[in-house]
Amino acid sequence: MDPANPLIVQSNNTLLLEVNSPRFAEARDAVSSFAHLEKSPEYIHTYVITPLSLWNAASLGMNAAQIVEALKRFSKYPIPQSVIDDITELTARYGKLVLESDDGNLLLRCNTPRILDNLALHPSLSPLLGERIDRTSIAVSAANRGVLKQTLIGIGYPAHDRAGYVDGESYPIALREKTGDGKEFGVREYQKMAAESFVGNKQSPGGSGVVVLPCGAGKTVVGLYAMTLLERKTLILVTNVTAARQWKREILDKTTIPESAIGEYSGEAKEIKPITLATYQIITYRKKKKGPFVHYGLFNSENWGLVIYDEVHLLPAPVFRFTADLQARRRLGLTATLVREDGHEEDVFTLIGPKKFDVPWRDLERQGWIAKARCVEIRVDLPPAEQLRYLSLPPKQQIRHAYENPNKLSVVREVIAQHRNDRILVIGQYLTQLECFAEAFNAPVITGGTPNQKRDILYDQFRSGEIKLLVLSKVGNFAVDLPDANVAIQISGSFGSRQEEAQRLGRILRPKKNEEQAIFYSIVTRESKELDFAMKRQLFLTEQGYSYEIRYGRAD
């Protein structure tokens, strides 16, 4: 222990990390591999060690001794014994229960018979278990594989699923050496590592799990490379039609798969091909609120060998129900962040799979794979008359009133003037606000109501440089490939969504031709609830090593 160290470990499993310490960055990188960032004020960042954070660390090969050693290396004071005990107990639970296949039968195994005895008596678990085979194993119906895993993690015992997968129907897939425009193409080393860690080998079987990479780092290429390693019919689930068509362009550009073998299953088309791209919206569609999911059959319509979940942090809750029935299929989740706003992190871990690969954003930035970025928060006052009105409004209306602060317009005008030669995205939440900004700057606006054909035209015009300023609603949060965008201006958002903050920064992180810096502006109303939300949104980027430069804007 060393009083000069930056970390204080508290008995309630929280960690206090001093920002101004020379060892801050080193400690942050170590701690974030097994703890979640909870608060990030100016001088002290608070992390919390949770069961899920420890199980994700264990899934990447960390053990309790390594975690405790990291804490000791950076801690000012002795580690409370209760924290060491919790880490040792919880980390050891990952892999203590194993699902395995034995001559076609599914077995739940545990080398500690006492644990198996107790679990077999649990009221939520016992209906899912079959005959006791011996002291260390119980038979399980294959139909209960997903639900059993959900139940086990709910009672604090995540199962390590090693029961294997059906191969699915084979389909030949190879990567091209050159893209469609004649450029050399190769899979980056970290992309290979990510895909290979998912597929696994004899020593470390894979087949289900999540790859975490920042936007712009080529998660789609990871998916394509995994497809070539497996060479199976593949179902790819995406956020919207724009994302589906973006995936299709990448598949045609970088693989030998012909266009005739790629199907789109969306509100606009119902094609099922060896490689099928389906939207989350169509999968979760039902005619009545409590009616059946009309397109559920897609999951079993083909003998899929791989299911890819793009932007898995946005996966709608009903898809987890379908995925519980898909545990015999290989499942790859792709995401920039495992943070979810709906509390379904455990379902991602259990049903899609544990984290298989993760790399800090700033590491890829230093290596030149994503653009260097600055984050700037500009705080602006409400007009005097609006301040009085704000105070008289109910809390929910105060939030929107702050987001739609009319003084933001002049601040954005000033920012745009500073970046007149750049490619700028203005991103917000409220349609009336977006339309106001689009009219003020004579810029096109894309919202959820914009037809897909028009969206594609506007995106193409932005890519070509014909348009240099584009106003986007939350449809711009994800799956928009605009590589030359280097300035994003956030004018409103989804309350305190950390995942949204990560996605919006991701719009400008693709490497730039001249290695120019990307700048992410967030325009925030002072002395309002929006400022509280802004601090929460910034947590994820702070965890990745970014800091926010604070400025104060002038109104007209």
DSSP string, 275-343: EEEEEHHHHT--SSTTS--TTTTHHHHS--SEEEETTGGG--HHHHHHHHT-TTSEEEEEES----SSS
Tokens of 452: 């897909």
CB proximity list for 173: less than 8 A, separation 6 or greater: 227, 228, 231, 255, 256, 257
Instruction: Say what the pTM is.
Output: 0.85
The domain over range 189-359 is classified in CATH as 3.30.479.30: no
SS3 550: strand
Burial of 343 (0-12, 13-18, 19+ CB in 10 A): exposed
**In this structure, how many other beta carbons lie within 10 angstroms of the beta carbon of residue 263?**
20
The H or E element spanning position 524 is: strand 518-525
**Consecutive sets of 10 residues in the chain, 556 residues long: mean pLDDT of each?**
90 94 91 86 87 91 95 95 96 92 88 90 90 92 90 91 91 89 88 93 80 89 97 94 92 95 91 94 83 81 92 82 85 87 82 87 85 91 90 89 93 95 92 94 92 88 91 79 85 80 82 80 92 81 79 74
Distance CA 276, CA 269 (A): 11
- Whether 505 contacts 371, CB under 8 Å: no
pLDDT for the residue 479: 57
SS3 424: strand
For residue 58, which of 156, 196, 195, 160 has the smallest C-alpha distance?
A: 160
Distance CA 353, CA 356 (A): 8
- Whether 8 contacts 77, CB under 8 Å: yes
Distance CA 84, CA 79 (A): 7
pLDDT for the residue 532: 84
Strand order in the sheet with 44-48: 7-9, 14-18, 44-48, 36-39
Query: 367-552 has which fold?
Result: Rossmann fold (3.40.50)
pLDDT for the residue 325: 81
Same fold yes or no, 189-359 and 367-552: yes
pLDDT for the residue 452: 82
SS3 245: helix
- End-to-end Cα distance, the chain: 54
**In this structure, how many other beta carbons lie within 10 angstroms of the beta carbon of residue 161?**
24
SS3 264: strand
CB proximity list for 268: less than 8 A, separation 6 or greater: 241, 452
For residue 377, which of 530, 196, 171, 203 has the smallest C-alpha distance?
A: 530
Tokens of 371: 């653009």
Tokens of 354: 């544990």
Residue with tokens 């959820």: 448
**Alpha-carbon distances of 176 from 51, 147, 248, 334, 422, rounded to whole Å:** 42, 40, 15, 22, 33
- Whether 508 contacts 350, CB under 8 Å: no
Distance CA 107, CA 392 (A): 62
* Beta bridge partner(s), residue 282: none
Q: Is beta strand 137-140 parallel, antiparallel or unpaired with respect to 129-134? A: antiparallel
pLDDT for the residue 62: 92
SS3 11: coil
Q: How far is CA 132 from the centre of its chain?
A: 39
Q: How many CA atoms lie within 13 A of 248 on its CB side?
A: 20
pLDDT for the residue 555: 57
> What are the boundaries of each domain within the chain?
7-93, 100-162, 189-359, 367-552
- Whether 444 contacts 450, CB under 8 Å: no
SS3 10: coil
- Whether 58 contacts 94, CB under 8 Å: yes
- Whether 68 contacts 87, CB under 8 Å: yes
DSSP calls for 108-144: EEES-HHHHHHHHT-TTTGGGEEEEEETTEEEE-GGG
pLDDT for the residue 290: 78
> What is the amino acid identity at position 351?
L
Distance CA 108, CA 120 (A): 11
* Beta bridge partner(s), residue 9: 15
